Amino acid sequence: MKKAFLYLSLSMITLISCNEKSTEKTITVTPQFRQDGVLWLLDAETSDTLQTLRIEIADDDFEVQTGLMYRPSMAQDQGMLFIFQNEDFHSFYMKNTLIPLDIIFVDAQYQIVNIHKNAQPMNEASLPSEKPVQYVLEVNGGMSDAWGLQPGDILSWQPQ
């Protein structure tokens, strides 16, 4: 009886060990930029184009939750535009995000509400909108200053 119990116990440990080994073979693929459109950042007073970007659009639950996580870099002329169904308060964080970002919150009238500049990689602190927004644009950290973006400036985009 003891031998049967010992044999059964060893068999279960072997099965568990085999199971654990199989999970170690998970392959991670770095997400690649997918151009979904072109976006223009416009000066609110002059309507001059401050910057033109190639954008990836995040508009479903998975894309919104994942965002720019796990990406080691992004070109200076690229960004990710998050599109929400309704205008509301939204908050972002930098969990699993490897590059610093400027997070630009935009209302339903396409006006910039506020900008969180140089959000630090891997930081899980909440970065909220100051007012209800329907769109959020993420670009490389420091770019909003380089382009002279301010609250009130306008976004316009064309999907492909």
Quickly list DSSP for 4-34.
Answer: HHHHHHHHHHHHHHHHHHHHTT---------
Q: Report the percent of the chain where pLDDT is more than 90.
A: 81
* Amino acid type, 50: L
Residue 68 reports pLDDT greater than 90: yes
Which of 19-23, 74-78, 112-116 is predicted least confidently?
19-23
* Domains in the chain, CATH or no CATH each: 28-159 (2.60.120.1140)
The answer to whether the CB of 139 falls within 8 A of the CB of 102 is yes
- Strands in the chain per DSSP E: 37-42, 49-58, 78-88, 91-92, 101-106, 112-119, 127-128, 133-140, 154-159
pLDDT for position 27: 45
pTM, rounded to two decimals: 0.82
